[in-house]
Amino acid sequence: MSKAVKEIKDKLSAVFEAEPAVGLVYLFGSQASGKTGPMSDYDFGIYFTEKSPIKRGQMVFYFSSEISKMLATNKVDVHSMNDIESPELKYQIISSGKIIFEREPNRLLLEPRVFNEYFDFIYLLKKYNLTRAK
């Protein structure tokens, strides 16, 4: 884990720890890869144990606000992993993202399901040339 990712993890862990419905948090995109530029934002994928989509939506707004305050920037995108439709995006988040918060056993619940969904779906995307994946 890079120094920048570790600093983000340290700054935000208490915010995620305070909400029992947060099971897993990924930092992904340019901040996770270390390839940042002047237009870079902070992308977070949060897996919630909360079943209600309305409550998850409220938590996405809450965490967007809290993370923005903690990182002193308005360049923050927060996504509910539970509600992302695209198998490619979910796969990208877990395969290239960095885990900055984890409550057991949520990683074991989420990641195999996302991998299965992606590899089942990627065949069709490749067949009809609808993806950049190789």
The CATH number of whichever domain residue 52 belongs to comes to 3.30.460.10
Mean per-residue pLDDT, 96-108 = 96
* Domain that includes residue 41, residue range: 3-128
Residue 13 belongs to what H/E stretch? helix 3-17
Per-residue confidence (pLDDT) for residue 134, from 0 to 100: 61
pTM comes to 0.91
pLDDT bucket at 130, cuts 50 / 70 / 90: confident
SS3 39: coil
Count up the domains in the chain and report the number: 1
In a domain, 34, yes or no: yes
In a domain, 134, yes or no: no
Contacts of 126 by beta carbon, 8 Å cutoff, 6+ apart? 133
